Amino acid sequence: MHCRAKIFNRQISFTMPTSSQRRILISTRIMRGLSGKVILLNYNIKALVAAGWDVSVFAEKIDKAMIESMGAQPFSVWNKLFSKPRRLQRFLDKHERLARSGRYDLVVGHGETLFQDVLHIHNSRHLEYEHIYGKTLIPGAKVTADIQAQQVAEQRYRLLVANSHLMRDDLITRYNADPERITVVYPGYDPERFYPRRDNPASIALRDQLGVGDRVLVGLVTSGKLIQRGADLLIPAIAGLPDELRRRMLTVIVAKDNLEPYQRQVAEAGLGDSVRFLAPRQDVDALYNALDIYINPARIETFGMSLLEAMACGVPCITTRGKVGAGELFTGDMQAGLMARADADALSDTLQQLLQSAELRLSHAALCAEAARPHDWSSNTRQHLALYEKVVAEKQLR
């Protein structure tokens, strides 16, 4: 039944659930902004609503207007006056009450939730800590890591969705998780935004602004931690290139992280303005299409949506073999873009191959675009909805 209501002087249109509608609760601590997880959830919520599900979304920090605009019902917990540990506990408590209320056919958790039918994990906390800092994360040092360990070790789910085989294998090895209850669904990209378009006026303008000329424009683009994405490896890798190749390239590092250590590293390496630091920009698709080579030399990244987006734009890409989930899409001749390991020498060797050959860059670009093509958001949402239907059917048989 379609209804309208006036809430805080705004007309809100919504649909009352019918007795045949399946009800789903989606819980995540943060549901606002433009993180990879929020983007994924936006696409999935829209797909669920379009498929006839009655969708409720619970988060500690939530953009209620955004949720309502998608046809879903938002819930939050009032936490402004509490400490961070207390806020987390209040989130967990309210999620548990909602999950155990009996109102939902399916409960889906994204992140720190202990009661759900389907658990989505977006980051392997212990794996990342070990590869970034080179030591084991001890119990009690990071609450979110402790919750993740409890979720998986105690199998607090009917089905766990990992975002790569890299993550799946780590969860099985680390926590002795049941392989039959873990599936892999890659995140996606928007094909109407991320596609090869070298004639994009914004891309051309950026190259002109940077003064690229006939040089090869190389870029590292991330919204996350630069140390995790291997920015400190990129700078000595460039410094280690033959002088002739180094003069033929210009590098941009696009990030919102603290840039000072990397700016100092560039100065100490004597690279001058051949390495530029840029602020993140909304039209990241134009940025990708301005690049001649995209680099993600991460120490660890369980997927890497920026790598998939750059591939979809037909940019030849470099990443770390076995350490980046999206690198699992590199097959056949694409493996020329895989660094043997996360260090400056391996990156320098791989980068040198692409810098030396425009023909290799063109062929690698085409392979990247082709490998990305099947993994758009429509594929991601189809897989998720099929899994949710399967879990609901299994619950009804019990």
Question: Do 19 and 155 belong to one domain?
Answer: yes
The total of structural domains in the chain comes to 2
Give the predicted TM-score (pTM) of the model: 0.92
pLDDT digits (tens, 9 = 90+) for 25-78: 999 999 999 889 999 999 999 999 999 999 999 999 999 999 999 999 999 988
- Kindly tell me if the per-residue pLDDT of 6 is higher than 60: no
* pLDDT for res 269: 95
Torsion sign, CA atoms 169, 170, 171, 176:
positive
DSSP string, 258-313: --HHHHHHHHHTT-GGGEEEE---S-HHHHHHH-SEEEE--S-BS--HHHHHHHHT
Q: Which two tokens stand for residue 75?
A: 């819930």
pLDDT digits (tens, 9 = 90+) for 200-226: 999 999 999 999 999 999 999 998 899
* Nearest one of 79, 100, 15 to 51, comparing CA atoms: 15
Whether residue 215 lies inside any domain: the answer is: yes
CATH number at 241 reads 3.40.50.2000
Whether residue 128 lies inside any domain: the answer is: yes
* pLDDT for res 141: 83
Under the banding of pLDDT at 50, 70 and 90, the label for residue 16 is: very low
Torsion sign, CA atoms 333, 337, 338, 344:
positive
Question: Do 172 and 258 belong to one domain?
Answer: no
- Kindly tell me if the per-residue pLDDT of 9 is higher than 70: no
Question: Do 285 and 390 belong to one domain?
Answer: no
Under the banding of pLDDT at 50, 70 and 90, the label for residue 84 is: confident
* Nearest one of 289, 267, 262, 292 to 278, comparing CA atoms: 262
Under the banding of pLDDT at 50, 70 and 90, the label for residue 5 is: very low
Coil, helix or strand at residue 253: strand
Task: Report the Cα–Cα distance between both ends of the chain, in Å, rounded.
Answer: 30
Question: Do 258 and 155 belong to one domain?
Answer: no
- Kindly tell me if the per-residue pLDDT of 193 is higher than 80: yes
Under the banding of pLDDT at 50, 70 and 90, the label for residue 82 is: confident
Q: Which two tokens stand for residue 238?
A: 């460039």
Count of Cβ atoms closer than 10 Å to residue 58 Cβ: 26
Whether residue 29 lies inside any domain: the answer is: yes
Question: Do 36 and 159 belong to one domain?
Answer: yes
* pLDDT for res 397: 86
Question: Do 207 and 304 belong to one domain?
Answer: yes
* pLDDT for res 314: 97
- Kindly tell me if the per-residue pLDDT of 248 is higher than 50: yes
pLDDT digits (tens, 9 = 90+) for 129-169: 999 999 998 888 888 999 999 999 999 999 999 999 999 99
Q: Say how far apart CA 164 and CA 192 lie, in whole Å.
A: 24
The domain in which residue 392 lies consists of: 2-188+377-397
Q: Please, what is the Cα angle at 304 between 230 and 158, to 5 degrees?
A: 130
Under the banding of pLDDT at 50, 70 and 90, the label for residue 83 is: confident
Whether residue 195 lies inside any domain: the answer is: no
Question: Do 182 and 262 belong to one domain?
Answer: no
| H/E run at residue 12 | strand 10-15
Give the mean pLDDT of 11-17: 42
Tell me the three-class secondary structure of 152-178, residue by residue. Answer: HHCCCCCEEEECCHHHHHHHHHHHCCC
Give the mean pLDDT of 257-271: 95
* pLDDT for res 1: 41
| H/E run at residue 121 | strand 118-121
Whether residue 114 lies inside any domain: the answer is: yes
Whether residue 196 lies inside any domain: the answer is: no
Question: Do 12 and 99 belong to one domain?
Answer: yes
Of 16 and 219, the one with more pLDDT: 219
- Kindly tell me if the per-residue pLDDT of 17 is higher than 90: no
Question: Do 81 and 126 belong to one domain?
Answer: yes
Coil, helix or strand at residue 10: strand
* pLDDT for res 186: 98
Give the mean pLDDT of 110-122: 96
Coil, helix or strand at residue 112: coil
Q: Please, what is the Cα angle at 49 between 119 and 33, to 5 degrees?
A: 65
* pLDDT for res 169: 97
Question: Do 340 and 303 belong to one domain?
Answer: yes
Question: Do 381 and 365 belong to one domain?
Answer: no
Question: Do 213 and 362 belong to one domain?
Answer: yes
* pLDDT for res 135: 92
